[in-house]
Structure 1
Amino acid sequence: MADFFETGEFHSRRYRYGNAMLCQEFHEELEQFRSGLEGSGLAEGSIDILIRGTRSFLEFLEKEGICSISGIHHSHLNSYIMEAAPKNSGNISNVTWPLGKFLSHLKKQGKLPFDRVPKLPHPVCRRKKVLPCMEDAETSAILAAVDRSTTMGRRDYAIILTAAYTGMRISDIFALELPSIRWAEKEIVFVQKKTGTENVVPLSAEVGNAIAEYILDGRPKSDSRSIFLSTKAPYQPMSASGNRTRIIHKYQHAAGIERRAYDGKGFHAFRRSVGTRMLEAGIPVTTVSQTLGHGSPVSAKRYISLDVKGLMECCLDISPFATGKEGLS
């Protein structure tokens, strides 16, 4: 409305509030830091974490009455980490990593107020919870709960089926554009949001038919290149809205699937299912990693924990050893 009264035109876009204005020196230094990161080859999401973390540190300095890089002392680093730690108990590296990167940037610019970049504390390795994949019966029930006679239903059915068959991240599915579907080659080509690298996945008949049905008989008329659009004007790309959790929760509820907080049964469970089924079929971990577009094969190893049959083959025979408990006999 402010834009409308000022310019006479209405612009449909999301505004983000909350970032405090930094002093001139800190603002300029943060922009220089951002420019250096954008040419470093880091993914967009990683750059966003570094910038947000650095801004948080600079805002902390201003609260301490420091408005100059030369005024930073070691005590400020310790105080900032102690203050930010309770809010980042799950991943303290989101505090120390941006701080270390920014200090390295200052050293490169010759502005570091210390002799060397301090060695920041690293968190100990924490246990990673093995989240479940989506069971075949659950996937079938969710798809059956979608009302494909409606425009929204045809869109949501195509989105869920694509996730279940390809293992693509939901952010990448939402960002798919019309040229991403290569019908003749039977493949989907896209640039991953998380890694910034191109990936190609097979286009099965089921997924292709669902997407085609939505495009031909469900997708609103729009000049947008994005495949999946909202059902209400101005028909924004799905990537511009927060609908990903609403979609999966809606059809899980309709299918009678109970959800608990942090149970891992969101859209990403479909991706874990694809990785697990590939391993169960005897496909090498490296191939699974390449198919899912991981930056490193190590990322695919988590699916080994879900391959119960394969894990049983790795178990040692304990029959030669005497056991005193019934459960081990």
Structure 2
Amino acid sequence: MTKPRPDRSRVSGPLASFADGYCAHLVAQGYSPRSAQFHLQLLAQLSGWMQAEGLDVAGLVPGAVERFWAERRRRGDVSRITQGRLRPLLGYLDGLGMLLAAGDVAPTELDRLVEQFCGYLVEERGLVAGSVRLYAGVARRFLTERSEPLADDLACLSGADVNAFVLRESRRVRPRTAETVVCALRALLRFLHVHGWIATPLATGVPSVPQRREDLPRGLPPGQVTRLLASCDRTTKIGCRDYAILMLLARLGLRSGEVAALQLDDVDWRAGEVVIRGKRSRLDRLPLPGDVGEALADYLWRARPRGFGRTVFLRSLAPVDGLSGDGVSEVVVRACGRAGIAPARAHRLRHTIATEMLWHGAGLAEIGQVLRHESLEVTAVYAKVDRSALSRLALAWPGGDA
């Protein structure tokens, strides 16, 4: 396989001296020669633009990156050159200490407010990093629409402003994502009220997103989980990884984010247990079934790349880093395609466990404990329950938590 080579004659400007090192970095990160060559060409284009703009490496601040991207858009190169494509290069330069630290760029009032909101989500609400990022993105979109100075505009914030934002977002995203937007906006408005940015508690007036929920969440029909597992070619590295992921989802009922968060140190092979990092920083120690442990050990021994951190499941494409929760769900979607069944995401396997337990006569308390639900209301979606049933369920869970 031909290795990528930076052509110094074609790289001019302030980034020319970094071309060789960046090339080696791309190879070490698992990029194919073709992908690495693309990123080297992007380095050359960015470096030439910086030279024309009179910028040195330290001048490669977010605003400059945005200008470079905007120019490429004007030239019709939107599909191939975006800010996301620049992320590996910027990460490499930042790792060398060549870019200005975030603290060296004066934060705006909006930046400071979003940072305070993130701190509130972690310290007061106990949200995990992934949820904080989602909520922060919603907060930034909402606050970006406000006028300067931000404090004066927020002081005049009304319910109509909030409703208009929810309406725009609900038209832009899927219903499930719109639910997240509403939750994030309510959290932001509570934060703003508690900290004196707004005088009126607007969080209670945020409209809910209409939901079409069946009495019983849909699991996969009998036999389809077996077909999903059988679709994995375990003679390949990707097949070993995907099979281990599907086993964790199908046998333990884990959420996609919990599978993605799994670390090598979370598996206690001697005790036959695994630590699961759940919602709101919750940690649960679960028994590791023998067949799941075998699938996991097979992946770790034969298929997982060495030297890429402590996250158990890694991306198959460069850059080789931890698989995301969405990536875990994509594993399920691809397995459905191979098995010839309707597309489903990771949470359908969790629903499958619950519905199979119901079919075999399990009670709601048992289902809630297996799925590690935080509240009784969550488990109640798996059946029509009256007040007496909820009362019996509450007795099984002292303190009201699973």
TM-score (norm 1): 0.73
Q: Residue in 2 aligned with 1:248?
A: 332
Amino acid at match of 2:274: I
1:272 offset after TM fit, Å?
0.9
Does structure 1 residue 87 correspond to structure 2 residue 169?
yes
* Residues 202/34 of structure 1: CA separation in 2 closer, same or farther (3 Å cut): same
Q: Residue in 1 aligned with 2:250?
A: 164
8 Å CA contact 2:268, 2:274 repeated in 1: yes
8 Å CA contact 1:195, 1:295 repeated in 2: no
1:300 offset after TM fit, Å?
1.9
Give the alignment partner of residue 140 of structure 2, picking from 35, 55, 64.
Answer: 55
1:85 offset after TM fit, Å?
0.7
Whole-angstrom distance in 1 between the partners of 2:309 and 2:372: 26
1:153 offset after TM fit, Å?
1.2
1:40 offset after TM fit, Å?
0.5
Whole-angstrom distance in 2 between the partners of 1:102 and 1:7: 45
* Residues 85/295 of structure 1: CA separation in 2 closer, same or farther (3 Å cut): same
Whole-angstrom distance in 2 between the partners of 1:218 and 1:76: 55
1:230 offset after TM fit, Å?
3.0
Relative contact order (alpha carbons < 8 A, sep ≥ 6): 1 or 2 greater? 1
Query: For residues 29-178 of structure 1, what are the structure 2 equivalents within 5 Å?
Result: 29-44=113-128, 45-62=130-147, 66-72=148-154, 74=156, 77-88=159-170, 90=175, 94=180, 97-112=183-198, 114=199, 116-118=200-202, 120-123=205-208, 126-129=211-214, 130-178=216-264
Whole-angstrom distance in 1 between the partners of 2:185 and 2:299: 46
8 Å CA contact 1:189, 1:200 repeated in 2: yes
CA RMSD of aligned residues (A): 3.5
1:137 offset after TM fit, Å?
1.1
Partner of 1:189, secondary structure, is strand
Q: Residue in 2 aligned with 1:316?
A: none
Q: Residue in 2 aligned with 1:269?
A: 348
Amino acid at match of 1:226: T
Q: Residue in 1 aligned with 2:293?
A: 208
* Residues 97/288 of structure 1: CA separation in 2 closer, same or farther (3 Å cut): closer
* Residues 147/32 of structure 1: CA separation in 2 closer, same or farther (3 Å cut): closer
Whole-angstrom distance in 1 between the partners of 2:112 and 2:221: 51
Whole-angstrom distance in 2 between the partners of 1:229 and 1:98: 29
* Residues 100/254 of structure 1: CA separation in 2 closer, same or farther (3 Å cut): closer
Partner of 1:136, secondary structure, is coil
Partner of 2:351, secondary structure, is helix
8 Å CA contact 1:85, 1:95 repeated in 2: no
Whole-angstrom distance in 1 between the partners of 2:326 and 2:300: 21
1:94 offset after TM fit, Å?
5.0
* Residues 217/51 of structure 1: CA separation in 2 closer, same or farther (3 Å cut): closer
Whole-angstrom distance in 1 between the partners of 2:258 and 2:299: 18
Amino acid at match of 1:253: G
1:207 offset after TM fit, Å?
0.8
1:27 offset after TM fit, Å?
2.7
Whole-angstrom distance in 1 between the partners of 2:219 and 2:106: 44
* Residues 279/77 of structure 1: CA separation in 2 closer, same or farther (3 Å cut): same
TM-score (norm 2): 0.61
Give the alignment partner of residue 276 of structure 2, picking from 187, 190, 194.
Answer: 190
1:148 offset after TM fit, Å?
1.1
Give the alignment partner of residue 303 of structure 2, picking from 215, 218, 242.
Answer: 218
1:7 offset after TM fit, Å?
8.3
* Residues 125/245 of structure 1: CA separation in 2 closer, same or farther (3 Å cut): closer
Amino acid at match of 1:159: I
Whole-angstrom distance in 2 between the partners of 1:7 and 1:171: 40
1:274 offset after TM fit, Å?
1.3
Q: Residue in 1 aligned with 2:379?
A: 300
Identity of aligned residues (%): 24
* Residues 6/237 of structure 1: CA separation in 2 closer, same or farther (3 Å cut): farther
* Residues 111/218 of structure 1: CA separation in 2 closer, same or farther (3 Å cut): closer
Aligned residue pairs total 289
Amino acid at match of 1:81: N
8 Å CA contact 1:276, 1:304 repeated in 2: no
* Residues 48/6 of structure 1: CA separation in 2 closer, same or farther (3 Å cut): farther
Amino acid at match of 1:41: R
Partner of 2:223, secondary structure, is helix
| CA deviation map 1:67-120 (0-9, x unaligned) | 2312346565413522441432647665555455444434443443x4x43452
Whole-angstrom distance in 2 between the partners of 1:23 and 1:231: 36
1:121 offset after TM fit, Å?
4.4
| CA deviation map 1:144-198 (0-9, x unaligned) | 2211111111111111122111111122112212222222222221211x33201
Structure that is richer in helix per residue: 2
8 Å CA contact 1:143, 1:161 repeated in 2: yes
Partner of 1:248, secondary structure, is helix
| CA deviation map 1:229-261 (0-9, x unaligned) | 23456532223x8533442233222222244xx
Q: Residue in 1 aligned with 2:10?
A: none
Q: Which runs of 5+ in 1 are unaligned?
A: 260-264, 306-329
Partner of 1:61, secondary structure, is coil
